[in-house]
């Protein structure tokens, strides 16, 4: 990986893990203990629906930014009006989706009124929340294309969560009502968007004036055609990742609160991947532009190895301490234990297959990615509709796991067949074996009686075993070299 990729990736990972620590405080200690399950379920559902709203409105332009910005990049020429194009079309999309959202309110009311009527009271709150979500995603995509990802990561992963902690504290002391809590919660998302706008202005790259000079020579039809396909793909992905919460909430907002809490507990697993993907996307786009398949394959394998090293360590730590984690929450949340297991498996499969989705989505065969996503979106709806009535929230987690496995295996084989690259090495098997050994040892550790002591001791032992085996077997030589250089620098001081 390039030095820029490594630097941005390291800082994004540090920021993300700091944010996940704050997020765990919010999700495990604050939300469950100061809001009831139905209120937690509502706040999570509002975010999920607003994210879907924003994805529909974006019309594929978030992904289009990554693929086509290299052809517009020219700071002296104000990037040839690219930012204006990136913002204007999704704003038109937002207007259309908002109209449909208002038109179909009676259908939503009929669906949720019986079991989740609280959502109906906050229906119109979704519109401003979706607008701020859309603006944040668009500016984050623009900054990512500029290889500037640290501020957007800090804003979303740390600033939002710190402000959320403060807001929950205000609510816990009875200073505001729940409705005021929701209003202020939405206001926090507006802060994120304004921070990114201010950052782009500080970089002197807030070029919002239109310019059609580049469009006269650039194949605009191709770009819009690609945008359409990525738009359809995004709809499919949104269904795959969000339909479980929407369907669970139709049965019970309280169950959705427990499910999404368990869902968040697994989010730490994929943080390394998401941090790297932010800057890997434009790197992959540059590889396609330069027809550098050797560099593409090296990046593919490196990212998969890093993902497995970090992701499996985090999974082992979470599952070995699962009872400790649930002890901080009301007893009802323990129903989500196997949701954590199934969703963890889904995330590990997603990480293990590396950047196959990014490779395919930015290639000339991006249309096939749409086909995979559409088929799997249908499968996700069917599996959720089948398993949720049978097994409740556990059924939703099982359906999500099946969908993630199928979508990633399909992409993996497709990329391998057409481009003759795949992400796995011998190190992939070694890392999996090391994780299994560390998890096995954790079961031999007796309960120490005190939840804090047990969590700390168990985690330290797992980390020591996992880390020592990973370094001694050199499953990722770059990690050994990085640690060696770090030790040398520290000794020089």
pLDDT digits (tens, 9 = 90+) for 304-323: 888 899 899 999 999 999 99
Q: What average pLDDT does this structure show over 145-163?
A: 85
Distance CA 44, CA 399 (A): 19
**Lookup: tokens for 261:** 């809490």
Whether residue 188 lies inside any domain: the answer is yes
- At 280 the pLDDT is 78
Q: What percent of the chain has pLDDT over 90?
A: 37
Q: 148: pLDDT confidence band, cut at 50, 70 and 90?
A: confident
The total of other beta-carbon atoms located within 10 Å of residue 84's CB is: 17
Tokens found for residue 146: 């500029």
| 443 in a structural domain | no
Angle among Cα 476, 479, 483 to the nearest 5 degrees reads 150
Residues 182-203 have pLDDT tens digits of: 999 999 988 888 998 888 889 8
Q: Find the angle CA(160)-CA(244)-CA(240) to the nearest 5 degrees.
A: 85
Contact criterion met (CB below 8 Å) for 476 and 305: yes
Query: In angstroms, rounded to a whole number, what is the distance separating the alpha carbons of residues 2 and 391?
Result: 46
Interior CA angle at 22 toward 17 and 25, to 5°?
A: 130
- Over 80: is that where the pLDDT of 147 sits? no
CA atoms within 13 A on the CB side of 266: 22
- Could you tell me if residue 376 is inside a domain? yes
Mean pLDDT within 29-41 = 92
Closest by CA to 27, choosing from 18, 15, 35, 38, is 35
Of 15-24, 259-268, 330-339, the least confident: 15-24
Which residue range forms the structural domain that includes residue 391?
A: 3-424
Measured CA to CA, the distance from residue 335 to residue 258 in angstroms comes to 7
Helices (H), 362-476: 366-391, 393-419, 426-444, 451-472
Summarised one tens digit per residue, pLDDT across range 260-278 is: 999 989 988 887 777 777 6
| pLDDT surpassing 80 at residue 332 | yes
Query: Would residue 432 count as lying in a domain?
Result: no
Q: Is the pLDDT of residue 176 over 70?
A: yes
Q: Which of 130-134, 308-312, 364-368, 436-440 has the lowest mean pLDDT?
A: 364-368
Mean predicted confidence (pLDDT) in 23-44: 91
Phi, psi of 363 (to 5 degrees): -90, 175
In whole angstroms, what is the distance from residue 320 CA to residue 470 CA? 19
Integer Cα distance of 439 and 40 in angstroms? 31
> Looking at residue 490, what is its pLDDT?
61
The answer to the question of residue 237 being in a domain is yes
* Total count of domains within the chain: 1
Residue 114 clears pLDDT 60, i.e. is over it: yes
- Average pLDDT on 466-475 reads 89
Of 224, 222, 271, 234, give the one whose Cα is nearest residue 361.
234
Read off the tokens for 109: 């009311």
Residue-level pLDDT at 75: 67
- Residue 67 reports pLDDT greater than 90: no
- pLDDT mean across residues, the chain: 85
pLDDT in tens, 386-436: 999 999 999 999 998 988 888 888 888 898 988 888 888 888 899 999 999
Q: In the predicted model, is pLDDT for residue 128 greater than 90?
A: yes
What is the per-residue burial (b if ≥16 Cβ within 10 Å, else e) of 203-221?
eebbbeeebeebbeeeeee
User: Using an 8 Å Cβ cutoff, are 165 and 25 in contact?
Assistant: yes
Q: Taking phi first (over 0 means left), then psi (-120 to 50 degrees means alpha), and beta for anything else, what does residue 255 get?
A: alpha
The per-residue pLDDT for 205 is 77
398: Cβ–Cβ under 8 A, 6 or more apart, which residues? Answer: 342, 383, 387, 391
Count of all residues that appear for the chain in the document: 493
- Do the domain assignments include residue 456? no
Q: What Cα–Cα distance (Å) separates residue 303 from each residue in 63, 351, 361, 384?
A: 20, 9, 17, 31
Q: For the chain, count helices (H), then strands (E).
A: 24, 0
pLDDT at 73: 65
**305 occurs within a structural domain:** yes
Q: How many CB atoms lie within 10 A of CB 165?
A: 16
Structure tokens given for 104: 């179909």
What percent of the chain is predicted at pLDDT more than 70? 90
> What tokens were used for 429?
């098997």
Residue 18 lies in a domain: yes
**pLDDT tier for residue 353 given thresholds of 50, 70 and 90:** confident
pLDDT value of position 58: 86
- Average confidence (pLDDT) over 369-394: 87
């Amino acid at each position: 990986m390039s030095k820029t990729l490594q630097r941005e990736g390291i800082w994004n990972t540090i920021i993300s893990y700091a944010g996940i620590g704050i997020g765990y405080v919010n999700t495990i200690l604050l939300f469950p203990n100061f809001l009831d399950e139905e209120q937690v379920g509502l706040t999570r559902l509002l975010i999920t629906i607003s994210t879907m709203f924003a994805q529909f409105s974006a019309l594929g332009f978030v992904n289009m930014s990554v693929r086509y910005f290299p052809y517009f990049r020219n700071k002296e020429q104000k990037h040839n009006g690219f930012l204006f194009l990136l913002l204007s079309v999704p704003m038109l999309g937002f207007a259309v989706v908002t109209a449909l959202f208002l038109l179909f309110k009676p259908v939503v009311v009929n669906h949720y009124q019986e079991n989740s009527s609280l959502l109906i009271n906050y229906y119109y709150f979704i519109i401003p929340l979706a607008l701020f979500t859309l603006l944040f995603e668009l500016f984050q995509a623009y900054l990512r294309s500029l290889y500037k990802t640290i501020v957007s990561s800090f804003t979303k992963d740390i600033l939002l969560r710190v402000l959320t902690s403060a807001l929950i504290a205000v609510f816990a002391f009875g200073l505001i009502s729940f409705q005021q809590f929701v209003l202020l919660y939405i206001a926090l998302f507006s802060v994120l968007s304004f921070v990114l706008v201010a950052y782009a202005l500080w970089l002197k790259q807030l070029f919002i004036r239109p310019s059609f000079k580049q469009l006269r020579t650039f194949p605009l039809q191709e770009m819009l055609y690609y945008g359409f396909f990525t738009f359809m793909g995004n709809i499919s992905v949104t269904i795959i990742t969000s339909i479980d919460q929407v369907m669970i909430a139709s049965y019970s907002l309280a169950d959705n609160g427990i499910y999404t809490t368990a869902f968040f507990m697994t989010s730490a697993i994929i943080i390394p991947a998401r941090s790297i993907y932010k800057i890997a996307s434009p790197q992959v786009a540059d590889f396609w532009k330069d027809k550098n398949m050797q560099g593409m394959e090296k990046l593919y394998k490196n990212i998969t190895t890093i993902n497995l090293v970090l992701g499996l360590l985090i999974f082992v730590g979470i599952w070995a301490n699962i009872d400790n984690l649930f002890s901080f929450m009301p007893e009802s949340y323990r129903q989500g234990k196997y949701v954590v297991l199934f969703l963890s498996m889904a995330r590990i499969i997603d990480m293990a297959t590396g950047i196959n989705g990014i490779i395919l989505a930015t290639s000339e065969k991006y249309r096939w990615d749409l086909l995979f996503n559409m088929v799997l979106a249908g499968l996700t709806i069917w599996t959720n509709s089948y398993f949720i009535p049978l097994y409740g929230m556990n059924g939703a987690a099982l359906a999500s796991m099946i969908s993630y496995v199928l979508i990633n295996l399909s992409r993996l084989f497709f990329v391998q067949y057409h481009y003759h690259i795949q992400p796995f090495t011998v190190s992939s098997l070694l890392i999996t074996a090391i994780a299994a050994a560390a998890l096995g040892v954790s079961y031999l550790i007796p309960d120490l009686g005190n939840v804090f002591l047990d969590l700390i001791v168990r985690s330290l032992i797992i980390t020591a075993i996992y880390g020592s085996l990973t370094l001694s077997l050199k499953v990722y030589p770059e990690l050994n070299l990085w640690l060696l250089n770090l030790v040398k620098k520290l000794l020089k001081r």
